[in-house]
């Protein structure tokens, strides 16, 4: 099987296709919705620095480790661990990933549903001429309704399931290749508009000027969680995608390109949002609704705002879709390969059960918002537990597995494509995944949940 995949397994066809699919997974609501709102709640500049440090020191090595596991084993996340570590409990890491996929998709599809609602609103020209107060009302009214957000969420899950059912290669590669670059162009146009608003400098200061007094254990953990969430790492998405990558692809450069693209989009989104936040007098820590309140206001003040709003929400929905596909694929690959279901049955079962949990996440931001645990509603519990606890824990176990269990020989064999590529940074990579990344994750994690007090 050297030089190619088993003929029966679906795979990505071209080098750009792989990057597009992995970038399609990484780039999504995490960059455009979650990054600005989490950065806004955690003080801006200082959060950004931590986030960037985590991307480069921990994120890229974790991503390379996931791709290594998946391509070596040629299986879903659970099956990969089982195959590479027979008779050992490492498959539990894959299992935790499947659970995390359920949780992430349940709340992610809530916000993905919002993007459809906002796409609908832009088609009907609902933003132009409205004041900040009116646009906030539009958002509040939508959330308070008990059925519209759920209906959009279900439509989104249906779309996701429909594409996943068609299979990875046909479904995913095709869309991302054209649409991701287009999204980038629209965000840059938004940046220019935001930067020419009055007081926009205050927004840039907020985003880029670190105020180290704002760094607390919570902020550090939020930055780590956001880095993992945004890169789609820590739960087996990239193990699964890695298993579809051909043997001649350079995994290291794929991981670096994808991480750079992802980080770039997050920062550009921040540059669109925060200047506008300050120009319109909104609080940067306004929470989950931040971009949905700020951006329509920006559109209503742009020449051609109608068309830009429409394009933006269309592309944001697509970006969300290429991410939800990658999360659902983790579950579907597990169901079909491990539990021996047909792909169709696996997709239906996974989508329906996730949608069921998801509706409660959606309602917990509206009609059910008074039901809380530790001061968090159901949506926030899913988001916090998956991003800040399960992903870092998964990432820790993944690097330990690759660094200590697989070991240098197998890892360099895989990363070098059986010796075809030179690996000048192999020593550093091994050092990071054996020592730096696991220790750093463990410290941030224990400190963040209060087991350690630095």
Measured CA distances, 174 to 20, 163, 170, 259 (Å): 9, 11, 7, 21
User: Which of residues 326 and 412 has its CB atom nearest to ligand TRP in the complex?
Assistant: 326
Q: What CA–CA distance (Å, rounded) separates 378 from 362?
A: 9
Q: Minimal distance in Å, beta carbon 285 to ligand TRP?
A: 20
What is Dmax (Cα atoms) for the chain?
64
Q: Which of 232, 254, 297, 351 binds ligand TRP (CB under 6 A)?
A: 232
Contact flag: residue 229 with ligand TRP (CB under 6 A): yes
Q: Minimal distance in Å, beta carbon 103 to ligand TRP?
A: 10
Q: Which of 230, 243, 362, 377 binds ligand TRP (CB under 6 A)?
A: 230
Q: Minimal distance in Å, beta carbon 228 to ligand TRP?
A: 7
Q: What CA–CA distance (Å, rounded) separates 448 from 66?
A: 24
Q: Which of 300, 326, 388, 412 binds ligand TRP (CB under 6 A)?
A: 326
Binding track, positions 296-325, relative to ligand TRP; x by CB under 6 A: ---------------------------x--
Q: Minimal distance in Å, beta carbon 234 to ligand TRP?
A: 6
Query: Closest by alpha carbon to 227, among 433, 64, 31, 429?
Result: 31
Q: Minimal distance in Å, beta carbon 318 to ligand TRP?
A: 12
Query: Closest by alpha carbon to 117, among 366, 381, 368?
Result: 366
- Footprint of ligand TRP on 22-61 (CB under 6 A): 25-26, 28-31
Question: 3-class DSSP state for residue 90?
Answer: coil
Q: What CA–CA distance (Å, rounded) separates 195 from 406?
A: 49
Q: Minimal distance in Å, beta carbon 216 to ligand TRP?
A: 24
> How many of the other CB atoms lie within 10 Å of CB of 424?
7
Q: What CA–CA distance (Å, rounded) separates 332 from 349?
A: 9
Within 8 A by CB and 6+ apart from 257, the residues are 19, 23
Q: Which of 74, 80, 176, 237 binds ligand TRP (CB under 6 A)?
A: 237
Contact flag: residue 327 with ligand TRP (CB under 6 A): yes
User: Which of residues 269 and 412 has its CB atom nearest to ligand TRP in the complex?
Assistant: 269
Within 8 A by CB and 6+ apart from 423, the residues are 252, 412, 415, 416, 429
Q: What's the chain's length in residues?
A: 454
String of DSSP letters for 189-206: HHHHHHHTSTTHHHHHHH
Binding track, positions 64-103, relative to ligand TRP; x by CB under 6 A: ----------------------------------------
Contact flag: residue 235 with ligand TRP (CB under 6 A): yes
Taking CB atoms, the residue at the shortest distance from ligand TRP is 30
Binding track, positions 385-404, relative to ligand TRP; x by CB under 6 A: ------x-------------
Alpha helices in 209-304, H assignment, sequence order: 217-231, 237-242, 251-279, 290-300
Q: Minimal distance in Å, beta carbon 344 to ligand TRP?
A: 22
- Are 336 and 343 contacting, i.e. CB atoms less than 8 angstroms apart? yes
Contact flag: residue 280 with ligand TRP (CB under 6 A): no
Contact flag: residue 63 with ligand TRP (CB under 6 A): no
Count of residues touching ligand TRP (by CB under 6 A): 16
Interface residues toward ligand TRP, by CB under 6 A: 25-26, 28-31, 104, 229-230, 232, 235, 237, 323, 326-327, 391
């Amino acid at each position: 099987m050297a030089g190619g995949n088993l003929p029966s397994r679906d795979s990505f066809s071209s080098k750009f296709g792989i990057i597009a699919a992995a970038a399609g997974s990484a780039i999504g609501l995490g960059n455009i919705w979650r990054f600005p709102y989490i950065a806004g709640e955690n003080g801006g500049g200082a959060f950004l620095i931590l986030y960037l440090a985590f991307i480069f020191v921990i994120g890229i090595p974790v991503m390379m480790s996931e791709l290594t596991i998946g391509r070596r084993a040629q299986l879903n996340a659970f099956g990969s661990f089982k195959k590479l570590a027979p008779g050992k409990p490492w498959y539990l890491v894959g299992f935790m990933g499947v659970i995390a996929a359920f949780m992430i998709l349940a709340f992610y599809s809530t916000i993905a549903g919002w993007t459809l609602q906002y796409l609908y609103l832009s088609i009907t020209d609902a933003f132009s001429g409205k004041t900040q107060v009116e646009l906030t009302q539009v958002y509040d009214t939508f959330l308070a309704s008990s059925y519209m957000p759920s209906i959009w969420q279900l439509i989104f899950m249906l779309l996701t399931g429909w594409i996943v059912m068609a299979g990875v290669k046909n479904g995913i590669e095709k869309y991302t290749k054209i649409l991701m670059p287009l999204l980038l162009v629209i965000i840059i146009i938004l940046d220019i508009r935001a930067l020419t608003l009055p007081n926009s400098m205050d927004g840039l200061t907020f985003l880029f000027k670190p105020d180290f007094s704002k760094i607390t254990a919570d902020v550090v953990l939020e930055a780590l969680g956001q880095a993992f969430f945004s890169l789609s790492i820590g739960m087996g998405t990239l193990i699964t995608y890695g298993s579809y990558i051909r043997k001649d692809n350079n995994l290291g450069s794929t991981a670096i390109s994808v991480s750079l693209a992802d980080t770039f989009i997050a920062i550009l989104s921040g540059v669109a949002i925060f200047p506008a936040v300050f120009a319109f007098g909104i609080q940067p820590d306004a929470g989950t609704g931040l971009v949905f309140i700020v951006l329509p206001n920006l559109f209503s003040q742009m020449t051609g705002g109608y068309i830009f709003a429409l394009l933006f929400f269309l592309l944001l929905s697509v970006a969300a879709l290429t991410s939800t596909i990658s999360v659902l694929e983790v579950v579907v690959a597990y169901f079909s390969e491990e539990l021996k279901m047909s792909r169709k049955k696996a997709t239906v079962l996974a989508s329906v059960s996730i949608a069921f949990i998801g509706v409660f996440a959606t309602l917990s931001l509206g009609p059910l918002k008074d039901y809380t645990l530790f001061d968090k509603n159901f949506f926030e519990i899913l988001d916090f537990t998956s991003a800040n606890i399960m992903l870092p824990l998964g990432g820790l176990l993944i690097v330990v597995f690759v660094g200590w269990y697989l070991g240098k020989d197998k890892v360099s064999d895989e990363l070098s494509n059986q010796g075809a590529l030179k690996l000048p940074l192999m020593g550093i990579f091994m050092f990071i995944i054996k020592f730096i990344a696991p220790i750093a994750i463990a410290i941030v994690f224990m400190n963040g949940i209060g087991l350690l007090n630095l």
